[in-house]
Structures are given as structure tokens and as C-alpha cells.
Amino acid sequence: MVEFEILEPATVSFPDDVNQLVFLNRAPFSIDIWAADNQVGMDYRDLIILDTLIVNNLHRGVLDVLRHSPAERFRRPIWLSDRRIDTSLLEDLVLTKREVNEICDSIGGDAIISLEFYTASVQQHFDYYRDEPEEIMNQYFEVSNKVQWKIYLPESPRPYDSYTTIDTLFFPVIQDGGLLDYTPGLNMVRDLFYDSGYKYGTYLVPVWNRTSRVLYRGREDSLKLAIKYTDNGDWESAFSIWKDLTGSNDSTLVAKAFHNLAVYYEVEDKLDTASMMVDLSLEHDTLDTDRSYKEELEVRLLNKKDIERQVRVR
């Protein structure tokens, strides 16, 4: 098995003339964004603390993705805030074309990414089970949210894109009757909203993700030696062995050699050649992993043009 990073495209594709992103916080500032039982005893000061924590970590999650993405033009967004105080008709209160144009013209923005609203809930749970002669308790917190974002473009009469995340995290306090070393507090809310912001960031820009591929070792001494070379970072020596094995009379061995060559070329980001190597592997034998590997390479080839357009230097 070999692990390496692959670049995956953003889900949303901005028009080519979009270079400067503007993040606008329009989320209502109201206790009503919390679940009803969480509102009990909550005052204005509590709301300020929690709202600041939530918004900062949403933005921090998004920004961490933008800063590490190869789409360099999006690494320095502009941050604005224009909070609402009502929580009614949230889905309908979109920015007008005039409002979008005025914001973009005033600060030089090309697209507005708006935090439209969020909701939050913190629930405490107790579970019991019997382990004779005692009844054992588990205690944990369930923290959940819903966050909606919209993208607006100048001169457009309606939002360019809308995306909603719904996330939940669980934080144990007592596990199998034993009190854990830490007590979750505000970090529960912080972690949840950071994760939601990070998720949305990966929706906006291409990101590097780790993947893994099978390398065939087999029983043959040559395949075993090639793997030793790859373990030591000497892929060129391994390549020579696999190339020589493609001339073998053993069709299964040939298929394994072509498969390993495909992985070599994929690591080198030569996806077309990697795909050809998988085809040659399938011609000699039907290896368990090759059909799914072929599909993954086809997806990467389809994504390649999108990635090139999304990351190209302006």
C-alpha cells in the first residue's frame, strides 16, 4: 500500500472573472437561533459570547482551507458583517442585485459569500446498561448545528449558489461508568462550527486529500524487491523491475506489474498513462482491485480540467 496526496476540485466553480471573495455575515443575531431548551436562562451576554465563538470558528475553518488551497487568488478574502435581528422568513431574505452591486463596487469584490443563518443545539444524554451486579452509565453531549451559505455575483438577480451544512459531534463525559479526564465546555461549540466552516471551505476551493493505492507484492522475489525499493523511496529502481516483468509468460504476474506501473504514473501525476497501464493489466488478468482503480482514475481525469481552471494563476 502506498499513500500520497491528490488534488480534488471544488464543488462550486466560480466564473473566470472572480478573483476577490467577500465574506458577509448576515446571520440573525438572536437567541432564537438556539434550540428552545438551550434558551432557558440565556441572556444577552451569553448570546454575545456564543455568537462570537461560533462566527469566529466558522470563519477560521473556511480560512484554513483557503490558505492551504492552490487557488491562490482566494487566500485573502474580505470580511464584512451586516447582522439581522429577526429570524423569520430566513430562506426568503436574500440580497438584492442592487445590494450585491453596491457592496462589490464599494470594496472591489467579485463575489459575495454570505453566511445567511445558523442554528445550534446542545443536548445532554444519559444511557444505562446492566453489567451484573451493577447498572453502568454513559453520559455524553450531542452538539448539532445547521448553517446556510449563499454565493452572490454582481449583476445577477438571484443567488449563484446555496449550500447548507448539517453537522453533529458527540462529546463523552462518563464512559462505561468512569468519569473521563476532561469536561467538555465551550470547546464543543468551537469544534463543531470550525468543522462546519472547514467543510464549506472544501466546497469552495480545490484541496489536497490523502489517498492510498495497492501495490502488488506477490510471492515472486522480483515483486518483493521492487516493494523494498519503494519503501526506501527508490521508485525508479522499482519501475525498472515492473517494466521487465511485463514481458513475463505469467499473465497474472504481468497484470500485477502493469498495475504497479499504473500507480507509479499516477504518483507522477501522469493520469492518462496510468489509465493505459490499468487497461493493460485488465487485458492480462482480472485483478480484484483494477476495476475500481480504473473508475477512480477516470474520475480524476474528468476532474483534471476543472482543477486546472480553478487553480490557474491569474
Distance CA 271, CA 254 (A): 20
Distance CA 314, CA 312 (A): 6
Average pLDDT over residues 168-180: 81
Q: Which residues pair with 115 in a beta bridge?
A: 25, 149
- pLDDT of 80 > 60? The answer is yes
Q: Which residues pair with 171 in a beta bridge?
A: 141
Cis geometry, peptide bond prior to residue 133 (ω within 30 degrees of 0): yes
Domain 214-311: which CATH class?
mainly alpha
Q: Which residues contact 309 (CB under 8 A, 6 or more apart)?
A: 13, 16
In the chain, % of residues over pLDDT 90: 73
Q: Which of 254, 256, 253 is nearest to 214 (CA)?
A: 256
- pLDDT of 176 > 80? The answer is no
Instruction: Give the per-residue pLDDT at 313.
Output: 52
Q: Which of 31, 52, 66, 33 is nearest to 206 (CA)?
A: 66
Residue range 19-70, pLDDT digits in tens: 999 999 999 998 989 999 999 999 999 999 999 999 999 999 999 999 999 9
Instruction: Give the per-residue pLDDT at 84.
Output: 85
Cell numbers standing for residue 17: 472573472
Instruction: Give the per-residue pLDDT at 87.
Output: 66
Given 1.10.3470, 3.20.20, 3.40.50, 3.30.160, which CATH number is that of 8-206?
3.30.160
Question: What is the Cα 81 distance to its own chain's centre?
Answer: 25
The residue ranges of every structural domain in the chain are 8-206, 214-311
- pLDDT of 314 > 60? The answer is no
Q: Model's pTM, two decimal places? A: 0.85
Please give the sequence-ordered ranges of beta strands (E in DSSP) within the chain, or none if there are none: 2-8, 21-25, 78-81, 111-131, 134-152, 161-175, 178-179, 207-213
Distance CA 240, CA 228 (A): 13
* 29-33 contacts, C-beta under 8 A, 24 or more apart: 29/83, 29/84, 29/85, 30/85, 30/86, 30/87, 32/87, 33/87, 33/117, 33/118, 33/119, 33/120
DSSP label of 84: B
Cell 467579485 belongs to residue: 110
Do residues 6 and 304 make contact, with C-beta atoms less than 8 angstroms apart?
no
Burial class (CB in 10 A: 0-12, 13-18, 19+), 293: buried
Instruction: Give the per-residue pLDDT at 276.
Output: 96
* Phi, psi angle pair for 285, to nearest 5°: -165, 155
